[in-house]
Structure 1
Amino acid sequence: MSYFSRYRDYTPLWSDTSKPTPRRYVFIALALLAASAALNIVLYNKLSHRWQVPLDNYQEINVQPIVDPKLADSMSHPNPQENAIVTSLYTDSYATAIATLGHSLNRVNTTASRLLFYLPEKISPRALCIATSTGFVPHPISRIPPPRGGKGVFWKFMDQYSKLNIWTLSDSGIKAAVYLDADTLVLRNFDELFSLPYNFAAVPDVYVDGQGWSLSFNAGVLYLRPSRAVFEDMLSKIATASYNMHEAEQSFLNHYYGAEALRLPYAYNANLAIKSRKPEVWADVKREARIVHYTLVKPFLEEEDNSGKKVVEMRRMESNVQSKMGQYGGLFQEEMQDWVEVWRDTRRTFADALLECGSHSATPPSPDSS
């Protein structure tokens, strides 16, 4: 018997492909491919871990301030007739937050005018009195209902499309506006924003989960140049554009301005999620933060109230804040103290005005229609 006849079952991998390959060698080849794939995955994970997103691999190496001090003085004197700071009130429980926000603006000496958007059918006279006690001028607006009957919209955001009314301020001669959610607190003057030549700007969003540092922006702080034409265009598209309805107007605006939005530094919307995601980043952001956004913990709401509609009485506000100090393992104690300190000063400074608000009705003029 010849050598090749004795080993006729042996077929080298480089043999003539016209001849059938024994099954065991197919298994060997598949095993090699699987091992190669596994090795590639391991190497990719090691390399990607080594080179993280810069903010997850944060290093305090930049010493340049956000705004050039030489330019800041020439940019920080907005015309109050042409520039406005706007916030909104859709439920009575946020009235004290807006009063505190208003006083935080007083403390940083902003010179822009201030407007409070509110829904007359949802807000009681007492809540409106409290919210406007520190400087915001009441500005009633019409509710913009969520498209498609609100299907897919998170229930807390059912009134949020009403925010788009900001673009109608061009009718009042407003050329630039900064919108602030009611759950924000101003720590430093940001009047330089009114000199931006852009039509729209916002701060990138941050998530504590796997989404992390997002390219999409958070709609809690917005800079914009109002335009009635843009407003009408938005209304014509909110029901037909393709976007994730869950986040309501924030998702829509991200699609509307996606490629054109100017991304501002985190200092203009210091979202508490930054601290939860990466405390080292927060430490640097906080040093220059103009606006803190109380997203994860809201000091002015009841701890057990998920609806956001239960009003915390002014006399109980400080104890309410204290009850929240331990949330997230006490991570936000400093920020809770920041807020309650401004609240105390608000209550002292505007004691007479707030006392007078007690004589107003605490019942909204009509039932909640959301």
Structure 2
Amino acid sequence: MTASLEAKAGIRRHAPAASRHAYVTLVTNDDYARGATALTHSLRHSGTQADIIVLHTPALGEASREALAALGCRLVEADLLPLSDAFNARHARRALHGAAPFTKGRKPDFHTPLDNFVKLRLWQLVEYESCIFVDADAIVLKNIDRLFAYPEFSAAPNVYESLRDFQRLNSGVFVARPALATFAAMQERLDVADAFWPRTDQTFLQTFFPQWHGLPVTFNMLQYVWFTMPDLWDWKSIQVLHFQYEKPWETNHPKSEVLMPLIALWQAFHDGGPIPDIAALPGPSGPAAALSPSAGA
């Protein structure tokens, strides 16, 4: 595809693909670049040889772009999707949080719900046979390359409060097969009259792929499981640790005390220093993870 056609398509590639498979993450600002740094280090630590794609919006600063490129990431600039004014108004942060509030945790100030829909541009990366998407607020603890052979659309359930949530997917980790036909079909379904996706891309993807293939929760272990469902936590089996809601790099983190063991692990990956023996880490029953009565509000 020529540069002019790529510009019209809403994405701009800055380097050729080096593999048939890729890990893809979305970075929409400099705050999420910090998460992508830790994620990239964790993927390198896992031993993967797949490409690592940073799908980023124009809002990402030049210094962050250079830093991620220096880590060996392949940067792909992606425009926001061409959506109607009415759609954008319904999914603006204040409107969405008012209509479908987050009551279990706090989204950071740098989180912009509309940016999440850029994730759908992954299906434009047709130079890849298969992709594993991983949110920038996650770290990979084991090699998960085998997921490249899994079918589209494979994802883990959104479990962090009760087993009733097994019927809901979490779009922080999923397997996709890029195809322009799929992307076109998504565009046709996304911005229809009065469409409202309360959890943005996540709600849309579950609707678009109603027969999604369930992965074990260990492929997308949400951090709140640490204190809401501690019996599910087993360091030896966790493949991906996902910091939903509060981010481990926030300075005003309201749950930092209860989640400190997880934050410390994220920091080790972010800094590129020695990584502890993860299987030997203490579980949530240890004194460092004791839950105060208000921590899960």
TM-score > 0.5 by shorter chain? yes
Q: Which of 172, 180, 185 is the equivalent residue of 2:139?
A: 185
Distance 1:334 1:146 in 2: 41
- 1-side partners of 2:258 and 2:123: how far apart? 37
Q: Distance in 2 between matches of 1:240 and 1:298?
A: 32
- Summarize deviations over 1:73-104 as a string: whole Å, max 9, x none: xxxxxx95211001111011121221121111
Task: Provide, for residues 162-219 of structure 1, a one-character-per-residue CA deviation record: whole Å limited to 9, x for no partner.
Answer: 110001111x2x11000111100111100110122x12111100243x7952411001
Distance 1:163 1:329, change over 3 A: closer
After superposition, what is the alpha-carbon deviation per residue over 1:319-338, rounded to whole angstroms, capped at 9, x for unaligned? xxxxx5xx437332211111
Residues 220 and 269 in structure 1, CA contact (< 8 A), matched pair in contact too:
yes
CA distance in 2, matches of 1:241, 1:274: 37
Q: Residue in 1 aligned with 2:283? A: none
CA distance in 2, matches of 1:102, 1:241: 39
Work out which of the residue numbers 253, 262, 265 in structure 1 matches 2:213: 262
Give me the whole-angstrom Cα distance separating, in 1, the residues matched to 2:156 and 2:271: 29
Distance 1:152-1:274 versus aligned 2 partners, 3 A rule: farther
Supply the AA of the counterpart residue of 1:335: L
For the Cα contact (< 8 Å) 1:145–1:162, is it kept in 2?
no
Deviations 1:280-313 (A, max 9, x none): 112x3x321111001133112332xxxxxxxxxx
- 1:126 equivalent among 63, 71, 78: 63
User: What is the match of residue 88 of structure 2?
Assistant: 150
One of 299, 305, 311 as aligned partner of 2:248:
299
Structure with max Cα Rg: 1
Secondary structure of the equivalent of 1:288?
coil
- Structure 2-normalised TM-score? 0.74
- Aligned equivalent of 1:222: 174
The residue that corresponds to 2:78 in the other structure is 141
Among 305, 322, 334, the alignment partner of 2:261 is 334
Q: Which residue of 2 aligns with 1:176?
A: 130
Change in CA separation of 1:91 and 1:119 when aligned onto 2, cut-off 3 Å: same
SS, match of residue 245 in structure 1:
coil
Q: CA separation in 1, counterparts of 2:160 and 2:194?
A: 22
1:251 counterpart residue number: 203
Letter in 1 for 2:136: A
Letter in 2 for 1:138: L
Residue 96 of structure 1 corresponds to: 34
Could you tell me how far apart the structure 2 residues matched to 1:186 and 1:211 are? 23
Give the letter aligned to residue 213 of structure 1: D
Taking the aligned partners of 1:97 and 1:329, their CA distance within structure 2 comes to: 16
Q: Which residue does 2:154 correspond to in 1?
A: 201
Larger helix percent: 1
1:61 paired residue number: none
Question: How many residues are paired up?
Answer: 239
- Matched residues in 1 for 2:258 and 2:70: separation? 31
Q: Percent identity?
A: 23
Aligned mate of 2:22, from 51, 70, 84: 84
Across the aligned residues of Structure 1 and Structure 2, the Cα RMSD in angstroms comes to 2.3
Could you give the per-residue CA deviations for residues 107-127 of structure 1, whole angstroms, max 9, x where no partner exists?
A: 11011111111112x111012
Q: 1:275: Cα distance to partner?
A: 2.1
Partner Cα separation in structure 2 for residue 146 and residue 338 of structure 1: 38
- Distance verdict in 2 for CA 1:116–1:244, change over 3 Å: same
* Superposed counterparts of 1:32-47, under 5 Å: none
Letter of the 1:162 partner, please give it: V
Q: What's the TM-score, normalizing by structure 1?
A: 0.60
Q: Distance in 2 between matches of 1:268 and 1:211?
A: 16
Query: How far apart, in 2, do the equivalents of 1:167 and 1:241 lie?
Result: 23
CA contact (8 A) 1:204 1:266 kept: yes
Alpha-carbon distance in structure 1 between the residues aligned to 2:182 and 2:136: 24
Q: Secondary structure at the match of 1:289?
A: coil
- Contact map agreement 1:99 1:132 (CA 8 A) in 2: no
Paired residue for 1:309? none
Task: Describe the superposition over 1:123-154 as per-residue Cα deviations: whole angstroms up to 9, x where unpaired.
Answer: 11012122333221111112115553323326
Residue 114 in structure 1 maps to residue 67 in structure 2: no
CA-to-partner distance for each residue in 1:12-49, whole Å, 9 max, x for gaps? xxxxxxxxxxxxxxxxxxxxxxxxxxxxxxxxxxxxxx
Is contact 2:156-2:217 (8 Å) kept?
A: yes
Judging changes above 3 Å, is the alpha-carbon distance between structure 1 residues 241 and 265 closer, same or farther for their aligned structure 2 residues? farther
